[in-house]
Structure 1
Amino acid sequence: MNPATTPVRPDDDGATPPWPSRPLGELCDLRSSPAVGKDARTTDDGVPFVLPRDLKGQRITRTENTTLTHETAHRLRGHALASGDLLMTRTGTVGSCALVTGAESGWLHHMNLIRLRPRRTGDGGVLVSPSYLVACLSATAARTWIGTRSAGMVIPSISMQALASFQVPLPPLEEQQRIGRTLAALDEKIRLHTEIVNTTKELRSVVADLLVTGNLLAGP
Protein backbone atom coordinates (compact mmCIF):
# COMPACT_ATOMS: atom_id res chain seq x y z
CA MET A 1 0.00 0.00 0.00
CA ASN A 2 1.16 3.49 -0.79
CA PRO A 3 2.45 4.94 2.49
CA ALA A 4 0.49 8.13 1.78
CA THR A 5 -2.67 6.05 1.46
CA THR A 6 -4.68 5.25 4.56
CA PRO A 7 -7.55 2.78 4.93
CA VAL A 8 -11.03 4.23 5.27
CA ARG A 9 -12.37 3.97 8.81
CA PRO A 10 -14.89 1.19 9.46
CA ASP A 11 -18.57 2.08 9.18
CA ASP A 12 -20.75 2.25 12.27
CA ASP A 13 -21.84 -1.35 11.73
CA GLY A 14 -18.23 -2.50 11.83
CA ALA A 15 -17.93 -3.21 8.10
CA THR A 16 -14.82 -1.82 6.43
CA PRO A 17 -15.39 -0.06 3.08
CA PRO A 18 -13.35 -1.63 0.25
CA TRP A 19 -11.38 1.43 -0.81
CA PRO A 20 -8.33 3.14 0.73
CA SER A 21 -8.40 6.94 1.01
CA ARG A 22 -6.15 9.97 0.70
CA PRO A 23 -6.57 13.60 1.81
CA LEU A 24 -8.13 15.89 -0.76
CA GLY A 25 -5.12 18.21 -0.48
CA GLU A 26 -2.83 15.43 -1.72
CA LEU A 27 -5.06 14.72 -4.71
CA CYS A 28 -5.83 18.29 -5.77
CA ASP A 29 -4.37 21.77 -5.79
CA LEU A 30 -6.84 23.99 -3.90
CA ARG A 31 -6.88 27.67 -4.78
CA SER A 32 -9.11 30.65 -4.07
CA SER A 33 -9.34 33.79 -6.18
CA PRO A 34 -8.67 37.40 -5.12
CA ALA A 35 -11.59 39.72 -4.49
CA VAL A 36 -12.81 41.53 -7.57
CA GLY A 37 -14.30 45.00 -7.19
CA LYS A 38 -17.64 45.81 -8.77
CA ASP A 39 -15.91 48.32 -11.04
CA ALA A 40 -14.12 45.39 -12.73
CA ARG A 41 -17.41 43.62 -13.47
CA THR A 42 -19.38 44.25 -16.61
CA THR A 43 -22.12 42.74 -18.74
CA ASP A 44 -20.31 43.65 -21.94
CA ASP A 45 -18.10 41.35 -24.01
CA GLY A 46 -15.77 40.33 -21.18
CA VAL A 47 -14.59 37.05 -19.66
CA PRO A 48 -17.42 35.10 -17.93
CA PHE A 49 -17.31 35.30 -14.13
CA VAL A 50 -18.75 32.36 -12.16
CA LEU A 51 -20.76 33.23 -9.04
CA PRO A 52 -21.52 30.84 -6.14
CA ARG A 53 -25.20 30.65 -7.15
CA ASP A 54 -24.14 29.42 -10.61
CA LEU A 55 -23.27 25.98 -9.20
CA LYS A 56 -26.35 23.85 -9.82
CA GLY A 57 -26.70 20.11 -10.23
CA GLN A 58 -22.93 19.54 -10.25
CA ARG A 59 -22.58 21.83 -13.27
CA ILE A 60 -22.07 25.54 -13.90
CA THR A 61 -25.31 27.22 -14.95
CA ARG A 62 -24.93 30.98 -15.20
CA THR A 63 -27.76 32.94 -13.60
CA GLU A 64 -26.76 36.31 -15.05
CA ASN A 65 -24.41 37.71 -17.65
CA THR A 66 -21.64 38.82 -15.29
CA THR A 67 -18.22 39.17 -16.88
CA LEU A 68 -14.85 40.71 -16.03
CA THR A 69 -13.07 43.26 -18.12
CA HIS A 70 -10.28 41.83 -20.25
CA GLU A 71 -7.74 43.88 -18.28
CA THR A 72 -8.87 42.28 -14.99
CA ALA A 73 -9.06 38.82 -16.57
CA HIS A 74 -5.47 39.14 -17.79
CA ARG A 75 -4.33 40.11 -14.29
CA LEU A 76 -6.12 37.06 -12.84
CA ARG A 77 -5.11 34.64 -15.59
CA GLY A 78 -3.36 32.39 -13.06
CA HIS A 79 -6.79 31.69 -11.54
CA ALA A 80 -8.50 30.83 -14.84
CA LEU A 81 -10.53 27.62 -14.96
CA ALA A 82 -9.58 24.60 -17.07
CA SER A 83 -11.56 21.57 -18.17
CA GLY A 84 -11.45 18.95 -15.39
CA ASP A 85 -11.30 21.50 -12.55
CA LEU A 86 -13.95 21.53 -9.83
CA LEU A 87 -15.48 24.54 -8.11
CA MET A 88 -16.85 24.41 -4.57
CA THR A 89 -18.63 27.04 -2.48
CA ARG A 90 -16.65 28.00 0.61
CA THR A 91 -19.23 30.26 2.32
CA GLY A 92 -23.01 30.41 2.56
CA THR A 93 -24.31 27.19 1.03
CA VAL A 94 -21.01 25.48 1.77
CA GLY A 95 -20.06 22.40 -0.21
CA SER A 96 -22.00 22.87 -3.44
CA CYS A 97 -19.69 21.72 -6.21
CA ALA A 98 -19.55 21.65 -9.99
CA LEU A 99 -17.36 20.12 -12.67
CA VAL A 100 -15.72 22.52 -15.12
CA THR A 101 -16.07 21.46 -18.77
CA GLY A 102 -14.34 22.67 -21.89
CA ALA A 103 -17.13 25.21 -22.38
CA GLU A 104 -16.02 27.04 -19.20
CA SER A 105 -12.27 26.81 -19.81
CA GLY A 106 -10.65 30.22 -19.33
CA TRP A 107 -13.48 31.60 -17.20
CA LEU A 108 -12.80 33.16 -13.79
CA HIS A 109 -14.57 32.70 -10.49
CA HIS A 110 -15.77 34.52 -7.38
CA MET A 111 -13.60 34.65 -4.25
CA ASN A 112 -16.20 32.58 -2.34
CA LEU A 113 -15.49 29.62 -4.60
CA ILE A 114 -12.54 27.25 -4.24
CA ARG A 115 -10.94 25.84 -7.38
CA LEU A 116 -9.88 22.19 -7.09
CA ARG A 117 -7.48 20.98 -9.78
CA PRO A 118 -6.58 17.24 -9.73
CA ARG A 119 -2.83 16.73 -9.49
CA ARG A 120 -1.02 14.94 -12.29
CA THR A 121 0.91 11.68 -12.09
CA GLY A 122 4.35 11.19 -13.59
CA ASP A 123 2.89 9.83 -16.83
CA GLY A 124 0.54 12.77 -17.29
CA GLY A 125 -2.58 11.16 -15.86
CA VAL A 126 -4.52 12.39 -12.85
CA LEU A 127 -4.46 11.11 -9.27
CA VAL A 128 -8.25 11.18 -9.15
CA SER A 129 -10.90 11.28 -11.87
CA PRO A 130 -12.66 14.69 -11.92
CA SER A 131 -16.07 13.15 -12.61
CA TYR A 132 -15.60 10.74 -9.70
CA LEU A 133 -14.42 13.50 -7.40
CA VAL A 134 -17.48 15.68 -8.04
CA ALA A 135 -19.63 12.61 -7.35
CA CYS A 136 -17.72 11.92 -4.12
CA LEU A 137 -17.91 15.51 -2.87
CA SER A 138 -21.64 15.74 -3.61
CA ALA A 139 -22.40 12.50 -1.73
CA THR A 140 -24.14 12.56 1.65
CA ALA A 141 -21.05 11.59 3.65
CA ALA A 142 -18.98 14.46 2.23
CA ARG A 143 -21.78 17.01 2.59
CA THR A 144 -22.26 15.98 6.23
CA TRP A 145 -18.50 16.16 6.91
CA ILE A 146 -18.28 19.62 5.37
CA GLY A 147 -21.44 20.78 7.16
CA THR A 148 -20.11 19.86 10.60
CA ARG A 149 -16.94 21.89 9.95
CA SER A 150 -18.75 24.98 8.77
CA ALA A 151 -21.58 25.08 11.32
CA GLY A 152 -21.76 27.43 14.30
CA MET A 153 -20.83 30.57 12.37
CA VAL A 154 -23.02 33.53 11.50
CA ILE A 155 -22.19 32.84 7.85
CA PRO A 156 -21.24 29.16 7.36
CA SER A 157 -17.72 28.87 5.97
CA ILE A 158 -14.99 26.27 5.55
CA SER A 159 -11.28 26.95 5.26
CA MET A 160 -9.14 25.45 2.52
CA GLN A 161 -6.98 23.83 5.22
CA ALA A 162 -10.00 22.00 6.63
CA LEU A 163 -11.25 21.01 3.19
CA ALA A 164 -7.80 19.72 2.22
CA SER A 165 -7.97 17.22 5.11
CA PHE A 166 -11.12 15.51 3.80
CA GLN A 167 -10.39 11.83 3.15
CA VAL A 168 -11.38 10.82 -0.38
CA PRO A 169 -12.12 7.11 -0.91
CA LEU A 170 -10.01 5.95 -3.87
CA PRO A 171 -11.18 2.97 -5.92
CA PRO A 172 -9.07 2.04 -8.96
CA LEU A 173 -9.15 4.70 -11.68
CA GLU A 174 -11.32 2.62 -14.03
CA GLU A 175 -13.88 2.18 -11.24
CA GLN A 176 -13.72 5.91 -10.50
CA GLN A 177 -14.55 6.63 -14.13
CA ARG A 178 -17.46 4.18 -14.13
CA ILE A 179 -18.87 5.76 -10.96
CA GLY A 180 -18.45 9.23 -12.44
CA ARG A 181 -20.22 8.27 -15.69
CA THR A 182 -23.11 6.62 -13.86
CA LEU A 183 -23.81 9.58 -11.60
CA ALA A 184 -23.23 12.12 -14.38
CA ALA A 185 -25.94 10.36 -16.42
CA LEU A 186 -28.34 10.62 -13.47
CA ASP A 187 -27.45 14.30 -12.98
CA GLU A 188 -28.26 14.92 -16.65
CA LYS A 189 -31.67 13.27 -16.27
CA ILE A 190 -32.35 15.46 -13.22
CA ARG A 191 -31.39 18.59 -15.19
CA LEU A 192 -33.66 17.64 -18.09
CA HIS A 193 -36.62 16.95 -15.80
CA THR A 194 -35.98 20.21 -13.93
CA GLU A 195 -36.03 22.11 -17.22
CA ILE A 196 -39.33 20.42 -18.17
CA VAL A 197 -40.86 21.35 -14.80
CA ASN A 198 -39.69 24.97 -15.04
CA THR A 199 -40.93 25.32 -18.62
CA THR A 200 -44.30 23.81 -17.67
CA LYS A 201 -44.62 26.26 -14.77
CA GLU A 202 -43.96 29.17 -17.10
CA LEU A 203 -46.51 27.82 -19.59
CA ARG A 204 -49.08 27.39 -16.84
CA SER A 205 -48.63 31.02 -15.75
CA VAL A 206 -49.11 32.31 -19.30
CA VAL A 207 -52.18 30.14 -19.90
CA ALA A 208 -53.71 31.22 -16.57
CA ASP A 209 -53.32 34.90 -17.48
CA LEU A 210 -54.95 34.33 -20.87
CA LEU A 211 -57.81 32.30 -19.43
CA VAL A 212 -58.80 34.66 -16.64
CA THR A 213 -58.70 37.70 -18.96
CA GLY A 214 -60.91 36.03 -21.57
CA ASN A 215 -58.17 35.96 -24.20
CA LEU A 216 -58.22 32.17 -24.32
CA LEU A 217 -61.14 29.79 -24.06
CA ALA A 218 -60.79 26.70 -21.88
CA GLY A 219 -61.33 23.36 -23.55
CA PRO A 220 -64.38 21.19 -22.83
Structure 2
Amino acid sequence: MKIKIKSDFRDYYDHAFCGSYETPDAVFQRQSTGGMSRSAMFAAFELAGLLTPRHGLVRDLVPALKAEYANYPKELWQMMQVVVHIDEQAHAGDGKVALSFDAAETQYPAAFAVEFLPTVAGVGAISYRHLRVGKRMFWLRCTRLDDWRSNCGDVQIEFMCEAGSATPDTPFFDLSPMVAVDFLRIGNQMYAIDLNIAPGLRGTGIEKIVRSTAVLQAVDAWFTGDDTGIYEKSLSLQSPSQSA
Protein backbone atom coordinates (compact mmCIF):
# COMPACT_ATOMS: atom_id res chain seq x y z
CA MET A 1 0.00 0.00 0.00
CA LYS A 2 1.21 3.52 -0.84
CA ILE A 3 0.58 5.95 2.02
CA LYS A 4 0.98 9.71 1.74
CA ILE A 5 1.63 11.96 4.73
CA LYS A 6 -0.22 15.28 4.81
CA SER A 7 1.35 17.27 7.63
CA ASP A 8 2.43 20.66 8.92
CA PHE A 9 5.76 19.33 10.28
CA ARG A 10 8.49 16.91 9.26
CA ASP A 11 9.73 13.80 11.00
CA TYR A 12 12.61 11.36 10.55
CA TYR A 13 10.60 8.68 8.75
CA ASP A 14 8.83 10.86 6.17
CA HIS A 15 11.05 9.80 3.27
CA ALA A 16 9.83 6.19 3.58
CA PHE A 17 6.27 7.18 2.66
CA CYS A 18 4.69 7.97 -0.69
CA GLY A 19 6.40 10.71 -2.70
CA SER A 20 4.63 13.70 -4.21
CA TYR A 21 4.96 12.14 -7.67
CA GLU A 22 3.08 8.98 -6.65
CA THR A 23 -0.64 8.30 -6.34
CA PRO A 24 -1.38 7.18 -2.78
CA ASP A 25 -3.82 4.49 -1.68
CA ALA A 26 -4.31 6.22 1.69
CA VAL A 27 -3.46 9.55 3.34
CA PHE A 28 -2.09 9.91 6.87
CA GLN A 29 -3.44 13.25 8.12
CA ARG A 30 -0.74 14.40 10.58
CA GLN A 31 -1.63 17.93 11.68
CA SER A 32 -0.10 19.28 14.90
CA THR A 33 -3.32 21.07 15.88
CA GLY A 34 -5.66 18.28 14.77
CA GLY A 35 -7.77 16.10 16.98
CA MET A 36 -10.16 16.81 19.81
CA SER A 37 -10.52 19.99 21.75
CA ARG A 38 -9.19 19.78 25.29
CA SER A 39 -12.66 19.50 26.83
CA ALA A 40 -13.71 16.75 24.38
CA MET A 41 -10.41 14.98 25.08
CA PHE A 42 -11.11 14.72 28.80
CA ALA A 43 -14.63 13.47 28.11
CA ALA A 44 -13.08 10.79 25.87
CA PHE A 45 -10.62 9.81 28.63
CA GLU A 46 -13.48 9.28 31.06
CA LEU A 47 -15.47 7.31 28.47
CA ALA A 48 -12.43 5.06 28.00
CA GLY A 49 -12.24 4.46 31.74
CA LEU A 50 -9.02 6.45 32.32
CA LEU A 51 -8.41 8.46 35.46
CA THR A 52 -8.04 12.21 34.98
CA PRO A 53 -7.30 15.22 37.16
CA ARG A 54 -10.40 17.22 38.01
CA HIS A 55 -11.35 19.54 35.19
CA GLY A 56 -14.00 21.91 33.88
CA LEU A 57 -14.59 25.56 33.19
CA VAL A 58 -12.59 27.80 35.50
CA ARG A 59 -15.75 29.36 36.92
CA ASP A 60 -16.97 25.90 37.99
CA LEU A 61 -13.72 24.10 38.80
CA VAL A 62 -11.95 26.70 40.93
CA PRO A 63 -14.80 27.29 43.43
CA ALA A 64 -15.08 23.52 43.89
CA LEU A 65 -11.34 23.23 44.56
CA LYS A 66 -11.41 26.21 46.92
CA ALA A 67 -14.26 24.63 48.87
CA GLU A 68 -12.35 21.36 49.17
CA TYR A 69 -9.22 23.06 50.46
CA ALA A 70 -11.06 25.59 52.64
CA ASN A 71 -9.88 23.95 55.86
CA TYR A 72 -6.23 23.91 54.80
CA PRO A 73 -3.95 26.77 55.83
CA LYS A 74 -4.62 29.68 53.49
CA GLU A 75 -0.94 29.92 52.59
CA LEU A 76 -1.07 26.34 51.31
CA TRP A 77 -4.13 26.43 49.10
CA GLN A 78 -3.19 29.83 47.72
CA MET A 79 -0.08 28.15 46.27
CA MET A 80 -2.20 25.55 44.42
CA GLN A 81 -2.83 26.01 40.72
CA VAL A 82 -4.92 25.01 37.75
CA VAL A 83 -3.71 24.62 34.19
CA VAL A 84 -5.81 26.93 32.02
CA HIS A 85 -6.08 25.98 28.33
CA ILE A 86 -6.22 29.22 26.38
CA ASP A 87 -6.01 27.31 23.08
CA GLU A 88 -7.81 23.95 23.36
CA GLN A 89 -6.25 22.62 20.13
CA ALA A 90 -2.62 23.32 21.03
CA HIS A 91 -0.04 20.66 21.94
CA ALA A 92 3.67 20.46 22.86
CA GLY A 93 3.35 22.83 25.82
CA ASP A 94 1.62 25.63 23.89
CA GLY A 95 -1.72 27.27 24.60
CA LYS A 96 -1.79 26.71 28.36
CA VAL A 97 -0.72 28.50 31.53
CA ALA A 98 -0.47 27.42 35.16
CA LEU A 99 -2.21 29.98 37.38
CA SER A 100 -3.27 30.33 40.99
CA PHE A 101 -6.95 29.83 41.73
CA ASP A 102 -7.56 33.56 42.10
CA ALA A 103 -5.61 34.50 38.95
CA ALA A 104 -7.47 31.91 36.87
CA GLU A 105 -10.87 33.16 38.08
CA THR A 106 -9.93 36.76 37.35
CA GLN A 107 -8.31 36.27 33.94
CA TYR A 108 -10.02 33.27 32.31
CA PRO A 109 -13.34 32.44 34.00
CA ALA A 110 -14.82 30.85 30.86
CA ALA A 111 -11.75 28.83 29.83
CA PHE A 112 -11.32 25.08 30.24
CA ALA A 113 -8.95 24.18 33.06
CA VAL A 114 -7.43 21.13 34.73
CA GLU A 115 -6.31 20.71 38.32
CA PHE A 116 -2.51 20.98 38.49
CA LEU A 117 -0.92 17.82 39.90
CA PRO A 118 2.77 18.28 40.77
CA THR A 119 5.02 15.32 39.99
CA VAL A 120 8.36 16.73 41.16
CA ALA A 121 9.18 18.74 44.26
CA GLY A 122 9.90 22.28 43.12
CA VAL A 123 9.54 23.44 39.54
CA GLY A 124 10.17 20.28 37.49
CA ALA A 125 7.80 17.75 35.99
CA ILE A 126 7.70 14.11 34.88
CA SER A 127 5.15 12.56 32.53
CA TYR A 128 4.74 9.19 30.84
CA ARG A 129 3.79 8.85 27.19
CA HIS A 130 1.92 5.83 25.87
CA LEU A 131 2.76 6.01 22.18
CA ARG A 132 1.14 3.97 19.42
CA VAL A 133 2.76 3.76 15.98
CA GLY A 134 0.44 1.79 13.75
CA LYS A 135 -0.31 -1.21 15.96
CA ARG A 136 2.95 -1.06 17.91
CA MET A 137 2.84 0.50 21.37
CA PHE A 138 5.62 2.01 23.48
CA TRP A 139 6.19 3.76 26.81
CA LEU A 140 8.37 6.87 27.08
CA ARG A 141 9.23 8.99 30.12
CA CYS A 142 9.65 12.77 29.82
CA THR A 143 11.47 14.78 32.48
CA ARG A 144 12.03 18.52 32.70
CA LEU A 145 13.72 20.05 35.73
CA ASP A 146 13.16 23.77 35.12
CA ASP A 147 9.47 24.03 34.19
CA TRP A 148 6.09 22.51 35.07
CA ARG A 149 5.62 21.38 31.45
CA SER A 150 7.38 18.07 30.79
CA ASN A 151 6.82 17.86 27.03
CA CYS A 152 8.56 20.95 25.67
CA GLY A 153 11.80 22.87 26.00
CA ASP A 154 14.79 21.23 27.69
CA VAL A 155 13.21 17.78 28.12
CA GLN A 156 14.96 14.48 28.76
CA ILE A 157 13.07 11.73 26.94
CA GLU A 158 13.73 8.11 27.91
CA PHE A 159 12.61 5.11 25.91
CA MET A 160 11.21 2.65 28.46
CA CYS A 161 9.79 -0.36 26.65
CA GLU A 162 7.65 -1.68 23.83
CA ALA A 163 4.23 -2.57 25.18
CA GLY A 164 2.73 -5.06 22.74
CA SER A 165 0.33 -4.73 19.81
CA ALA A 166 -2.81 -2.63 19.68
CA THR A 167 -6.14 -4.00 18.49
CA PRO A 168 -9.26 -2.21 17.18
CA ASP A 169 -10.71 -2.13 20.71
CA THR A 170 -7.65 -0.27 22.05
CA PRO A 171 -8.76 3.20 23.20
CA PHE A 172 -8.48 5.81 20.43
CA PHE A 173 -7.30 3.19 17.91
CA ASP A 174 -9.59 4.59 15.21
CA LEU A 175 -8.43 8.19 15.51
CA SER A 176 -5.09 8.07 13.72
CA PRO A 177 -2.22 5.78 12.65
CA MET A 178 -0.26 7.41 15.49
CA VAL A 179 -1.60 8.35 18.90
CA ALA A 180 0.10 9.48 22.10
CA VAL A 181 -1.59 9.65 25.49
CA ASP A 182 0.35 11.46 28.21
CA PHE A 183 -0.04 10.51 31.87
CA LEU A 184 1.03 11.86 35.24
CA ARG A 185 1.87 9.27 37.87
CA ILE A 186 0.71 10.18 41.36
CA GLY A 187 1.51 7.36 43.75
CA ASN A 188 0.31 4.19 42.07
CA GLN A 189 -2.27 5.95 39.91
CA MET A 190 -1.86 7.13 36.32
CA TYR A 191 -3.83 10.25 35.29
CA ALA A 192 -4.42 10.95 31.59
CA ILE A 193 -3.75 14.58 30.67
CA ASP A 194 -3.19 14.78 26.90
CA LEU A 195 -4.22 12.99 23.70
CA ASN A 196 -2.21 13.76 20.57
CA ILE A 197 -3.12 12.23 17.19
CA ALA A 198 -0.01 13.65 15.47
CA PRO A 199 2.87 13.03 17.89
CA GLY A 200 6.39 13.89 16.80
CA LEU A 201 8.83 10.98 16.99
CA ARG A 202 12.13 12.71 16.20
CA GLY A 203 14.22 13.14 19.32
CA THR A 204 12.19 10.72 21.46
CA GLY A 205 14.54 7.74 21.14
CA ILE A 206 12.00 5.89 18.99
CA GLU A 207 14.16 6.55 15.92
CA LYS A 208 16.88 4.41 17.52
CA ILE A 209 14.45 1.52 18.01
CA VAL A 210 12.20 1.72 14.94
CA ARG A 211 13.68 2.41 11.52
CA SER A 212 11.86 4.58 8.99
CA THR A 213 10.79 1.55 6.95
CA ALA A 214 9.40 -0.06 10.12
CA VAL A 215 7.32 3.05 10.82
CA LEU A 216 5.86 2.71 7.33
CA GLN A 217 5.15 -0.99 7.93
CA ALA A 218 3.47 -0.25 11.25
CA VAL A 219 1.27 2.49 9.77
CA ASP A 220 0.45 0.23 6.81
CA ALA A 221 -0.64 -2.44 9.31
CA TRP A 222 -3.02 0.07 10.91
CA PHE A 223 -4.61 0.90 7.55
CA THR A 224 -4.84 -2.69 6.32
CA GLY A 225 -5.29 -4.62 9.56
CA ASP A 226 -2.34 -6.88 8.69
CA ASP A 227 0.38 -6.93 11.35
CA THR A 228 2.44 -9.74 9.80
CA GLY A 229 6.15 -9.00 10.06
CA ILE A 230 5.98 -5.54 11.62
CA TYR A 231 8.21 -6.34 14.60
CA GLU A 232 11.94 -5.81 14.24
CA LYS A 233 12.74 -7.43 17.57
CA SER A 234 11.11 -8.50 20.80
CA LEU A 235 11.26 -6.09 23.75
CA SER A 236 10.20 -6.59 27.35
CA LEU A 237 6.53 -5.87 27.90
CA GLN A 238 6.03 -3.87 31.08
CA SER A 239 4.20 -0.86 32.38
CA PRO A 240 6.04 2.28 33.50
CA SER A 241 5.24 1.43 37.12
CA GLN A 242 7.28 -1.75 36.71
CA SER A 243 10.22 -0.21 34.90
CA ALA A 244 10.61 3.17 36.63
TM-score, structure 2 as length reference: 0.23
Q: As a proportion of its length, which structure holds more strand?
A: 2
Q: As a proportion of its length, which structure holds more helix?
A: 1
TM-score, structure 1 as length reference: 0.25
